[in-house]
Amino acid sequence: MKRELISLIIVLALAFLCFYLFYQILLPFLQPLLWAVFLALVLFPTHRKLQRLLRRGGFLPAMVMTVLVTLVIVLPFSLLMVSLGKESGDAYHAFEEMIQTGRLQATLEQIKELPGLKQIFSRLDQTFNVSSLDPIDFILKNLRQISAVLLSQSSKILKGVSSFLIAFLFTLLSLYYLFKDGERLFNGLKGILPIPPRERDLLIDRFRDMVNATIFGGLLIALIQGVLGGMAFWVLGIASPLLWGTAMALFSFIPLGGTALIWIPAALLLIIQGAVAKGIILLAIGVFIISSVDNLLRPLVVGVQTHIHPLLLFFTVIGGLQAFGMIGIITGPLIASLCLTLIEIYLQGGQPANSSEPK
């Protein structure tokens, strides 16, 4: 008995060591692999239709899908980056012009004179003597420091771009093999999961729902809100509409606040600068059009499928970003959804509510 126990401990130690070393080997490629897995899950129905259209599986449909994904991602992304670079430069020069002409100082003074803020600034001045501070000088110094940092870090920025391109190539390579062999790998994985079929299918369904909701639903909402926000800025003659539209698309992933963190300050700034009509129109567009997209679509394509309360969704997105980087937008809510599913299985005593029959 003692010898069997020692043998079991040795086997478990060797197994742990093997899996740990395997994890260390794959660690540099985990993010590209995860992106490939998530994209394959979302696009697999399209891949199935392509297989039926071509009347064959294997190499050709997988290669066609990988090329299509490359074109759909790379071409718009490249054009967007070129346009964003131009608009960012234009925005920087416009900001410098506002400082040199004194418009920024006048705007800051107008903000200080607003009824609610005037009392706050008065109290801050009594406590911290903020009136002696020169905000324009502070902004100029920080702009110069940012420019100096960007110049000094240009090699690191170039290295980061190179790392991104390499990771993207690994993602495409993994995506090709997932399209080609993914169904066989998935069936094999289902077979080795050490849980009953009902609970296994519930976990897989929740996993698929979360990935679809986060990638397809989240990107769809971000795209619609970014386009609407950019068009609103363009129609109202606000500088750099593409830049701010992209910012709204990114901010739409934040469950609390979202795009309002962009268009509310912009509308208030327009009103303070005297463009009252434009500010009110932007507020109306933000409230009745941009926010309505979020309020109508998100519960349908994200909230219902994720089975997560909006507050918990907010914390999982922010925490996921901090823990895993950009992939955390998906992995954070995904981990939370799987944990909640396990709790549901436990509370139902192995018979989860509304679960389907084994597939």
pLDDT in tens, 155-192: 665 666 677 788 888 988 998 988 888 778 877 777 77
Percent share of the chain, pLDDT over 70: 70
CB atoms within 10 A of CB 256: 13
pLDDT bin (cut points 50, 70, 90) of residue 355 is very low
Report the number of secondary-structure helices (H) and strands (E) in the chain.
Answer: 16, 0
pLDDT bin (cut points 50, 70, 90) of residue 244 is confident
pTM score: 0.62
Higher pLDDT, 256 or 140: 256
Identify the CA nearest to 222 among candidates 238, 246, 244, 241.
246
Measured distance CA(243)–CA(230) in Å, rounded = 8
Measured distance CA(20)–CA(37) in Å, rounded = 21
Indicate if the pLDDT at residue 303 is higher than 60. no
3-state secondary structure 272-327: HCCCHHHHHHHHHHHHHHHHHHHHHHHHHHHHHHHCCCHHHHHHHHHHHHHHHHHH
Indicate if the pLDDT at residue 138 is higher than 60. no
Indicate if the pLDDT at residue 49 is higher than 80. yes
pLDDT recorded at residue 31? 85
User: Mean per-residue pLDDT for 328-333?
Assistant: 80
CB atoms within 10 A of CB 197: 12
pLDDT recorded at residue 352? 45
Mean pLDDT of the chain: 76
